[in-house]
Amino acid sequence: MSNPRPRQAVLAVRGKHVTKVNDVVIKIATVNGTGSASANGLLRKSIFRMGVPVVGKNYFPSNIQGLPTWYEIRVTGDGYSSRADRVDVMVAMNAQTYARDMADVVPGGWLIYDSTWPRSGLLNRDDITIIGIPLSRMCNEHFEGARSRILMKNIAYVGAIVALLDVDLDVVTQLLEETFAAKKHLVDANMEAIRLGYDFARENFPCPLPVRVEKMDKTKGHIVIDGNTAAGLGAMYAGATVGAWYPITPSTSLMDAFRNFCAKYRVDPETGKRTYAIIQAEDELAAIGMVLGASWAGARSFTPTSGPGISLMSEFIGFAYYAEIPAMIYNVQRVGPSTGMPTRTQQCDLISCAYASHGDTRHVLLFPGDPAECFSMSPVGFDLAERLQTPVMMLTDLDIGMNDWMVPELEWDDAYVPDRGKVLGAEELEKIDKFYRYLDVDGDGIPYRTLPGVHPKGAYFTRGSGHTKLGAYTEDSAEYQEVLDRLLVKWETARKLVPEAEIRYSKFNKAAILTIGSGDGACKEALDRLQQQKVGLNYCRVKAFPFTDAVRDFIDKHEVVYVVEQNRDAQLRTLLINDIDADQRKLVPLLHYNGMPLHAGFVVERVLEEIAKGQAA
């Protein structure tokens, strides 16, 4: 193989550079289906291993091959968890999006491109530095086969970035050795590709750039994980034995994770038999039907889905509310309405989940703020579903579910015992005279239930039609209303059992930010930035619906509450007004709903705008 020296690239430094250490945003533009994900992951993980906090965001198309996709690595020594609102270093590997990728770079930033092909017509910014590296040519010279050349081109740009940003090459090497522990030849090939990019950059450009990475000690005790993996793991730890689902972006990887964990930890080593059932249903209607059947028969059961799935499940969700059957539903929200943008993020199903189904229904919702909470709230969700005998929906979103978040290591309390709720066993049934399914014996609105196959006295007829507190069919007004009113008692019990909101309060602040789920990171970063501008705000992140008394008190104590959420119609604000009668004049909606994850810059800008408006008025 010939190995001519690459021609000398000319680096014309343009724009006013700022020296920044461990505060850099790298965005990599590629074509989907070219295997760039593992290369990008290698870079992200290498920086994390250097002890520097990172955020990984994937902006990908609803497509298998050929459309533009981006991966963004935010290196954040301050440990912020949301996406950045700028790009310092763009790796423009996709000719389709070259022009707009270049436009995205901050003045004084850098653009790396594959200089195998001339791009002179496109190099039209004079305030950024363009770095050309002949990636394709080098890889074509060093690797055989089209697929291998494409894959190694990705690894080669990682090599260049390693040199340009001063990422520790030893860490990269070690990661590759771990990844391909069983395949030595792959370690060698990948290292060769790394060195192609690395050496070319070192030989032709002043390395490192003024923005660079430096070892820290801020990732100890942390992991980088996505929410779907964490939720799948949480479902296994909660003791789920039946999972039913219909594949839908962006929830699919949740069941994949559950399946992978179960394949390892839920197979009898002697017989090879499984202690879990995963059923791929024909649609979401069937998936939720299976969950209800399994829960009714006594198994911990769940389904992962996204907005369109909730629409299809709604009839059954109402049934479960009225017939009082536990169900755990994960809704990894994506952009609606309708098919919307399946690979973009939003918090747009708050109302459709809170009141899913016809008739008077309301459902317990959980709102984790990051993957760690997807894990820790999973057993909470299963416990609440069985304690309250009702569907519980955990609402995450694509940003939490599919992006890479640095979170504290997950912890598990071995003393955990599942709360299976009020279930009468054979001995208890033997002792009682007669069992009635919907009696409020304890005054908390939660009746006792029985499982089939336990005792003849436990038998009852589960129905979605009008029923009395004894469980019998009825069309009598008073008997019907008695049960419907008792469900409201149960709702108030739920209010006391759901996870408490996260609250930061100082009596000196008269205004506050209130947010939900994945808004957490951007809002906390915004609080810091606003504080630097002498704008002090309190903070509340709700973690569940119904809203707790603490949320009500929090709103009461403030003159203005900026409700930050990721949908067009201020759905969280509507729920606050509806559920706890919050004063709507205080609740100022700050709405971000373009499909990209929320960032701090948006929150800061909108809060300052609202303050200015208030002062003008």
Partner 1 sequence: MTYIAKPKVSHPSLRKNELGLTKRDYEGAVSTLCAGCGHDSVTAAIIQAVFELNIEPHMMAKMSGIGCSSKTPAYFVSQAHGFNSVHGRMPSVTTGANAANRELTYIGVSGDGDSLSIGVGQFVHAIRRNLNMCYIIENNGVYGLTKGQFSASADIGSKPKKGLANQQEPIDPASTALSLGATYIARSFSGDKEQLVPLIKGALMHRGFALVDVISPCVTFNDHEGSTKSYSHTREFYHHVTNIDYIQPSEEIRASYEAGEAMPVELHGGEVIVLRKVDNQYDPTSRASAFGYLRDRFNAGEITTGLLYVNEHREEMHELMGNVDTPLAKLPYEGLNPGSAGLKQIQARYR
Structure tokens at 527: 């609080």
Within 10 angstroms of residue 363's Cβ, the number of other Cβ atoms is 24
15 binds partner 1 (CB under 8 A): no
302 binds partner 1 (CB under 8 A): no
Angle between helices 477-497 and 371-388 (to 10 degrees): 150
Kindly tell me which of 117 and 461 has the beta carbon lying closer to partner 1.
461
285 binds partner 1 (CB under 8 A): yes
Residue with tokens 């979170």: 407
Structure tokens at 376: 């820790």
Within 10 angstroms of residue 353's Cβ, the number of other Cβ atoms is 24
Q: C-beta of 275: minimal distance to partner 1 in Å?
A: 6
351 binds partner 1 (CB under 8 A): no
Q: Which of 372, 303, 302 is nearest to 543 (CA)?
A: 372
Kindly tell me which of 476 and 553 has the beta carbon lying closer to partner 1.
476
Q: Which parts of 463-522 interact with partner 1 (CB under 8 A)?
A: 463-465, 473
Stretch that binds partner 1, among 99-107, 149-157, 445-453, 550-558 (CB under 8 A): 445-453
Q: C-beta of 358: minimal distance to partner 1 in Å?
A: 11
Q: Rounded distance, CA 602 to CA 598, Å?
A: 7
Give me Rg for the CA atoms of the chain: 27
Kindly tell me which of 303 and 548 has the beta carbon lying closer to partner 1.
303
Q: Which of 592, 608, 607 is nearest to 518 (CA)?
A: 592
Q: Choose which of 456, 477, 616, 617 interacts with partner 1 (CB under 8 A).
A: 456
241 binds partner 1 (CB under 8 A): yes
296 binds partner 1 (CB under 8 A): yes
Q: Choose which of 450, 515, 538, 574 interacts with partner 1 (CB under 8 A).
A: 450
245 binds partner 1 (CB under 8 A): no
Q: C-beta of 357: minimal distance to partner 1 in Å?
A: 10
Q: Which parts of 209-228 interact with partner 1 (CB under 8 A)?
A: 222-225
384-407 per-residue burial string, b: 16 or more CB within 10 A, e: under 16: bbbbbbbbbbbbbbbbbbbbbbbb
Structure tokens at 307: 């907005």
Q: Which parts of 39-68 interact with partner 1 (CB under 8 A)?
A: 48-49
Q: Choose which of 99, 181, 186, 459 interacts with partner 1 (CB under 8 A).
A: 459
- Interface characters, 305-344, with partner 1 (x: CB under 8 A): ----------xx--x-------------------------
Q: Choose which of 351, 410, 489, 577 interacts with partner 1 (CB under 8 A).
A: 410
Q: C-beta of 497: minimal distance to partner 1 in Å?
A: 20
Number of residues this chain uses to bind partner 1 (CB under 8 A): 73
Q: Choose which of 99, 181, 297, 484 interacts with partner 1 (CB under 8 A).
A: 297
* Residues whose CB falls within 8 Å of the CB of residue 147, separated by 6 or more in sequence, listed in order: none
Q: Which parts of 365-384 interact with partner 1 (CB under 8 A)?
A: none
Q: Which parts of 529-558 interact with partner 1 (CB under 8 A)?
A: none
121-159 per-residue burial string, b: 16 or more CB within 10 A, e: under 16: ebbebeebbbbbbbbbbbbbebbeeeeebbbbbbbbbbb
Structure tokens at 157: 């740009």
Structure tokens at 358: 């016809």
Kindly tell me which of 110 and 319 has the beta carbon lying closer to partner 1.
319
3-state secondary structure of 242: strand
117 binds partner 1 (CB under 8 A): no
In DSSP terms, 20 is beta-bridged to: 211
CA atoms within 13 Å, Cβ hemisphere of 55 = 24
Kindly tell me which of 40 and 567 has the beta carbon lying closer to partner 1.
40
